[in-house]
């Protein structure tokens, strides 16, 4: 990711002017426009119990609030693994878990998952029975496309900046994070996302750890929600050997090309 004086995404029509004398909005930096709405550091779609603290009005302009909600938050919460986990966390079946309504072990099973006011049908890739019950091996039919990987990285960076602002607004407005702001708003970047294999479990927890003092660490932003675990550095520069990644059980998802032997 290159540091630039301004970033213009022609498709999304968002502008970052990094030369603005007075920095206003947390994301676009502009002091102009309306600042009437609060910004959820963690998307509200995860539930109020997981998002007790919001950024008050005055920190994020309404244009960025609405724009980034559509461009990033919506895509992130609709990832296969997160959408299924959201359903699990809000399930109302016996024991608080989803039920198999049609099964043909060991090949597949059809599950009905309640999401909001609607029902989503999920096909399990494998179903096994053990002494304690039924185990579902649930996975998406296809890998997440690069666009969703890119938006997921941007969503994690957006959440990280929000958390940093809640800790120290002055630090969040530092020019150190300007390359991240550009990427969040749609400027082209090259990066990677670490993801552990998804497990469909109910934990009742959402954890987001942000370490701004070590922005180049591959775990500078560490997101865990049920059986979803994702991580991404805040700034480029550090390298991590693939052997270390594999040993820790991470999968590398890049936005542009196949991961090399060393991740930078």
pLDDT digits (tens, 9 = 90+) for 137-154: 555 555 667 788 999 999
**Confidence label for 109 from pLDDT (cuts 50, 70 and 90):** low
Which residues lie closer than 8 Å to 176 by C-beta, 6 or more apart?
A: 215, 235
- The pTM assigned to this predicted structure is 0.75
Q: Of 48, 98, 104, 112, nearest to 201 (Cα)?
A: 98
Cα dihedral 132→134→137→141 (10° resolution): -170
Asked if residue 62 has pLDDT above 70, the reply is yes
Asked if residue 64 has pLDDT above 70, the reply is yes
pLDDT of residue 6: 39
User: How high does pLDDT run on average in the chain?
Assistant: 75
Q: Of 64, 65, 62, 63, nearest to 44 (Cα)?
A: 65
pLDDT digits (tens, 9 = 90+) for 21-34: 567 899 988 888 89
pLDDT digits (tens, 9 = 90+) for 151-181: 999 999 999 999 999 999 999 999 999 999 9
Asked if residue 202 has pLDDT above 50, the reply is yes
Q: Of 230, 184, 233, nearest to 212 (Cα)?
A: 233
Residue 182 is inside which H or E element, if any? Answer: helix 178-184
pLDDT of residue 264: 42
Q: Of 7, 38, 6, 26, nearest to 171 (Cα)?
A: 26
Determine how β-strand 108-115 pairs with β-strand 100-104: antiparallel
Segment 236-262 mean pLDDT: 71
């Amino acid at each position: 990711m290159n540091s630039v004086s301004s970033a213009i995404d022609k498709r999304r029509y968002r502008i970052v002017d990094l030369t603005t004398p007075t920095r206003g909005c947390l994301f676009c930096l502009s002091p102009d426009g309306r600042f009437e709405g609060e910004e959820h550091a963690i998307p509200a779609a995860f539930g109020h119990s997981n998002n007790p603290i919001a950024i008050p009005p005055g920190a994020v302009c309404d244009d960025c609030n609405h724009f980034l909600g559509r461009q990033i938050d919506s895509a992130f919460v609709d990832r296969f693994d997160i959408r299924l986990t959201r359903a699990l966390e809000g399930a109302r079946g016996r024991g608080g878990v989803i039920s198999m309504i049609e099964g043909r072990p060991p090949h597949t099973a059809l599950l009905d998952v309640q999401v909001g006011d609607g029902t989503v049908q999920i096909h399990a890739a494998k179903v096994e029975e053990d002494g304690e019950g039924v185990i579902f091996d649930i996975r998406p039919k296809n890998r997440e496309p690069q666009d969703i990987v890119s938006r997921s990285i941007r969503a994690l960076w957006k959440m990280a900046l929000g958390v940093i602002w809640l800790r120290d607004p002055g630090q969040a407005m530092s020019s150190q994070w300007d390359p991240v702001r550009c990427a969040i708003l749609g400027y082209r970047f090259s990066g990677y996302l670490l993801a552990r294999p998804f497990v469909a479990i109910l934990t009742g927890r959402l954890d987001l750890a942000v370490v701004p003092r070590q922005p180049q660490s591959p775990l500078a932003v560490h997101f865990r929600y049920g059986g979803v675990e994702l991580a991404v550095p805040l700034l480029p520069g550090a390298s991590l050997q693939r052997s270390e990644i594999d040993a820790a059980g991470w999968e590398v998802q890049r936005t542009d090309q196949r991961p090399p032997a060393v991740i930078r």
